[in-house]
Amino acid sequence: MAGVDLEDNGGTEMMGKLDEAMRSLVDSSKYIEIHRDMLDEYIRSNSIPSDDASKEYTDKASRALQAYNESTNTSKYASNEAYRSFREEVWEVNHPDDPLPSLFPDDPDNEGEEGDGEELVVAAAKISLKCPLTASWLEEPVTNNVCGHNYSKEAVLNHIRSNLAPNKALERRVERHIRKLEEENLRSQSQYTLIM
């Protein structure tokens, strides 16, 4: 990784530019996500476009982007997995045994770098080099994207395989729920007729 090489060679100015580029990438990804989510919502709504659909879309997108742009660095970047991983790898070059300090200590909402309550990013956590399932050194380390814990790949796969059991009751419940949603969707579609 370029950031690790720059940190190794003391390229502070270039590291700043690389960090800025990484934040720009996170911002661009968020902009795309906002537009994709809005388009998906429009498609799911099955509504007939109004004459002002383009203006409505543009206004709604502008409000969402403005809200994102006005949020703090902590809420935008500290909980972003790619940015966080980038900063952790760079930090570990010169501080292999120290936890990553707070990324944005001056942000007003920086209290342990918590986001909106759905994700918790711990500012100073030591990463264990041992697998919690085997208590041995990590082999082919993998990270759980939900909780952030690290495991040896084979150990976690074996753990998952050995602890899975079919849940027929839940399967039937899901099937009933899907059928109910499909029936409601058919009923709502039959109430509207398209005039050409």
- Which residue reads 């001056």 in tokens? 106
Place of tokens 């342990």: 112
The strand pair at 141-143 and 150-152 is best described as antiparallel
108 backbone φψ class: left, alpha, beta (φ>0; ψ -120 to 50): alpha
* Max Cα–Cα distance, the chain, nearest Å: 69
3: tokens are: 């950031």
pLDDT tens for the chain, 196 residues long, are 444 444 445 567 888 888 899 999 999 999 999 889 888 887 777 666 677 778 888 888 899 899 888 888 888 888 788 888 888 888 887 777 777 777 777 666 555 444 433 333 444 456 778 888 888 888 999 988 877 788 899 998 988 888 777 888 888 889 999 999 998 888 877 766 555 4
Element (DSSP H or E) covering residue 8: helix 2-8
